[in-house]
Amino acid sequence: DQQVKQNSPSLSVQEGRISILNCDYTNSMFDYFLWYKKYPAEGPTFLISISSIKDKNEDGRFTVFLNKSAKHLSLHIVPSQPGDSAVYFCAASGGSGTYKYIFGTGTRLKVLA
């Protein structure tokens, strides 16, 4: 039972354009969502998070949007840079102070120069 889904295994975007990565979840108990970036041979690196009381969170070039009614979140990267090329995982957890994340299967982003 895949509670967190990333339906696009890969995405290619031109440098300077917007990258939009999508994530869907099924568990309505999830109340904290995160995006991680992963380069080959490295562990996931935290990018940005959002709690369920918000519908948007921005950090520089990265913005996460949360649509609770649709159980959908997205990560926008503007402008995209070649160094953003990596695998992006969304993750979710349920309950304040909860301990474990449920990850999606990842989307490989390639930013073309």
Partner 1 sequence: DTGVSQDPRHKITKRGQNVTFRCDPISEHNRLYWYRQTLGQGPEFLTYFQNEAQLEKSRLLSDRFSAERPKGSFSTLEIQRTEQGDSAMYLCASSLIQGSYNEQFFGPGTRLTVL
Which chain residues interact with partner 1 by CB under 8 A? 4, 32, 34, 36, 41-46, 49, 51, 89, 91, 96-97, 99-106
Listed in sequence order, the residues at least 6 apart from 37 whose beta carbon sits closer than 8 Å to its beta carbon are 44, 45, 47, 84, 86, 87, 88, 89
CB of 95 to partner 1, least distance (A): 9
Q: Specify which residues 94 forms β-bridges with.
A: 30
Nearest residue (CB) to partner 1, 83 versus 97: 97
Nearest residue (CB) to partner 1, 43 versus 83: 43
Nearest residue (CB) to partner 1, 65 versus 103: 103
